[in-house]
A and B are shown apart, each in its own frame.
Chain A
Amino acid sequence: MHRTFKLLTALTLLVLVGPGLWAEPSADLVAAAKKEGKVVVYSITSRIANAATAFEKKYGIKVEAYNLKDGELIEKVSREVGGNIAGADFVISQDSGRVYGQLISTGYLVNYVPDSMKSVIPAKYQNPLVFQYINKVFIFNSEKTAKPVIKNVWELTEPKWKGLVQFKDPKLEGVNQNFLTMLTSPEWSAKLDKAYQDLYGKKLALTTKNAGYEWIKRFFQNGLILGNSDTTISENVGIKGQPATVMGLFVYSKTRYDEKKNLALTPMTEVEPFSGFLYPAFLSMTKNAKNKNAAKLFIEYLLTAEGFAPWSKDVGAYSSNPSVPIDKDDHPMSFWAPKLVDEDPAYLFQNRADVEEFVNTISSN
């Protein structure tokens, strides 16, 4: 009750006074951080480079920002922290199953929530601290039609979509593998089962363990095109002048390229039983961080509207700080969450390896 009240007060103040009120870190921290003068961050999002430039400008603290792939980041951090070798001071990581299993349970990553954020960020995002949510949704080439081209994910297993759907190779990105794994969970396989019946009016005949596995199998075997990067996929799907209407399941924020790259990309938000998936990126310090104070200061900065600006000025990025505004064309998390498949670290830890093996078996020629 008390907490809610405080939160409400904070929010009200925020609305009245505007951003910046809660955003001031303590003078001690700033001084200590400046004394260190440098901070190293590994990040799965490339836009960290822009935040780094802004942070450098604001505080005069040098930033080394490295953009890594999710699996790569996990490997490097476990090597470096495990061997007590100086590396990152803090990291932005994704792939919750592995982050929990390999980095958090081993103590390699240390959770740090700035005091100023403890009452702002919802408790469920505080341990481990979530930096942002990212969503990948079904997006189609809307040059010929602006109307959503599917209503149910089972349509993607029909011949009419054969060879027209793109997805980043799950071997290359943990979160894609996680999404597939989550589909095999009791919750999502039941939803897929129901969606099948809703669409075809008959029971799904299984050749695999459950409806989740079944959908994955038929989805892959319907000529699914695996790509190397979501950026490339967004271009391949969105480029104008293609004979057939194509679509893909990729990062929603790629639609920001529409204008500059002359693409026609429109997301679908009303697909049964899911329109895509959602995953958190975590913001944590490393156990052997050398520049602890600078890391803390940067973490705090990233959680403010100012620090999150490189992300929030486009669609598809949702800060864990609810007071950070989202892009005007985007929907809030409350809109997306029920429509998308979320990650459950415990389920992923138990089942990811099995699903990965299954996917490898059905997907190679």
Chain B
Amino acid sequence: MRTVNRLKAFIKKPHNIILVGLAVILAYLTLFPLFSLIRDTFIVHPSEIMSVKGAAVNDYTLFHWRKVFLDGERSAKLFYLPLWNTVQVSLYSSVIAIVLGGAVAWLVTRSNMRFKKFVSVVFIFPYIMPSWTLAMAWLNFFRNRLVGGAPGLFTALTGIATPNWFAYGMFPTSIVLGLHYSPFAYILIGGILRNMDANLEEAAMILKASRAKILARINLPIVMPAILSTFLLVFSSSMSAFAVPAFLGTPVRFQVLTTQLYRTLNGLNPGYGYIMAVVMIVIGTAILAANQWFVGKRKSFTTITGKSSNSSIVNLRKFRTPVSVVLLALVVAVAILPLATFAIESFIMAPGDYSAKNFTAQFWIGEGAEDIGGGEPGVLRNKYLYLALWNSLKLSVIVSLFAGTVGGLAGYAIVRGRGTKLASFVNNLAFFPYLLPSMAFGAIYLSMFAKPTLIIPSLYGSFALLVLVGTVKYLPFASRSGINAMLQLSGEIEEAGVILGIPWHKRMARIIFPIQKASFLSGYLLPFISCMRELALFVLLITPANRVITTLLFQYNEKGWNQWANAINLLIVAIVLIFNTVINKITGASIDKGIGT
């Protein structure tokens, strides 16, 4: 009887139902693939009959494990060295993202800096662009004579030849990834700073605490969870970034795990790749565990209560103009300049020649000509481009609707059920996809869903598979912003609704969502944007007929057909910006508004 009552009480709370549902579905979509992945490290795949001599497909073998871990210098070159490079790149880029994104977030939300509106809009551009296009921009600027050809713009203008370490390899890879992911920091940290209760700061000021002290003792501790989330996100993202190290590392043969992963998964030894994926997951999980241990020690970080909260603005005084100008220059350099070079490069016929007679609209509206590229028509006349663009849009919208909704609910349920084992289990499950490197995640879903499993029919080649993988992969963004939003929201607000007998769905729609609209909406927007510019996740799952715009873009980049690639890149950025603006106009919210000015 007591158990029944307890069960009744359990079911009565909506968040428990959500938690149980999510636990089952997510376990199937994230843990089950993990087992499939581990199994893949022990079997002989079709392309491995060339290397595992005498074996038949699907035989069990320890060959991959031995080769990756225990084969002396070969293992070092195959695995240990790339692993070390990966760890370094991920660390550096996380630091860069947090420092830069955090600083910008603070300046925009808490200071009287100038150009706020502009900076807050433009600062997220690097995240909208597919990450490797920033790498291409880096090469346009800083490449040196190593790769032959014309030197980069920087050398052309200053006459200074860039050293190899600056132009290629670890350094630029870390910088580019750091810049690409700093909007994470900006959005997550800025969201908290903006909503922070000014009473805390005011209290400190009344007690005559110095600005530095307030920053260290109040602002930092409050944003700490956001900083840790950012670190986790950026570290994991950088770890699974593929295209940036591929473009910046190849000239100096700088290898990271993903470049090895790509080679092995597409080449003769996918087994090696699956092991590397397992290693990356282990690293990611370790960071997640550390993160949770740290966050778990903190009691609460409610910042929105029923009371009014007016954040105070710091006066930068004599630094106001210099700081504003420096930041403006920086933002223009990393966000606008690359776009400008893409625009110019998309109109240039012979490489490196910027005279007027060399400009052509061929790559936008021209018909195919065999002596340029393979007779590919200009992007606006290319039927495959429209098909891919349509696929991308459809996919991104559907994925963002699914991920945003599920993630918002997850955030709600996890916070309401806080402290229970179930909640923390779902919390971990909802975040787990993030730790799976995109390419490996795609590979697992490929091997799982290429044949019918349990209740699901074979999905390979279908659009549904792309939606599924995208939704699961981007759920962490949405659930993070959902959790952040809910954590700030004092429970008393919903309790007031409960006391008045307002049903759950109305409480969600009328109270909780409206208050934290910005945070919840960024849970929709981040998956949308990420999906629009995602490559590694889909590259293995896509069949030519349902390919998306980024695979087309990457193909052009890889082939060195830069004019088409630059044109497509501009199209992607333009489309995302249009969506952002439209959503802004309709709902009054947008990513940059998440922090607001």
Contacts and interface: CB of A to CB of B under 8 A. Distances in A.
Contact of A235 (B149, B370, B376, B458): B149
B252 interface: yes
B199 interface: no
Nearest to A246: B148
A239 B150 contact: yes
Given A102-B46, A357-B74, 7 more contacts: A46-B559, A69-B558, A83-B451, A228-B557, A231-B561, A353-B51, A364-B253
B263 A171 contact: yes
A166 B250 CA distance: 12
B372 A257 contact: yes
Interface size class of B (residues with CB under 8 A): 35 or more
Nearest to A51: B375
Contact of A360 (B78, B251, B252): B78
Nearest to A87: B543
Contacts of B369: 260
Interface size class of A (residues with CB under 8 A): 35 or more
Interface string A298-334: 0000000000001001100000000000000000000
B50 A242 contact: no
B561 A310 contact: no
5 contacts: A53-B368, A87-B544, A228-B560, A235-B149, A314-B370
Nearest to B349: A260
Interface stretch (B110-118, B265-273, B432-440): B265-273
A276 interface: no
Interface string B253-291: 111000100010011110000000000000000000000
B47 interface: yes
Nearest to A97: B50
Contacts of B78: 357, 360-361
Nearest to A354: B51
B446 interface: yes
A66 B253 contact: no
A344 interface: no
B374 A46 contact: yes
Contacts of B559: 46, 229, 231-232
Interface stretch (B7-15, B91-99, B350-358): B350-358
Contact of B544 (A45, A66, A171): A66
A310 B522 CA distance: 49
A349 interface: yes
Given A64-B545, A83-B450, A101 B49 contact: yes
A92 B369 CA distance: 21
A244 B147 CA distance: 12
Interface string B549-585: 0000001011111000000000000000000000000
Interface string B60-99: 0000000000000110011001100000000000000000
Contact of A45 (B49, B266, B349, B374): B374
Contacts of B246: 228
Interface in A203-237: 225-233, 235-237
A363 to B, nearest CB: 6
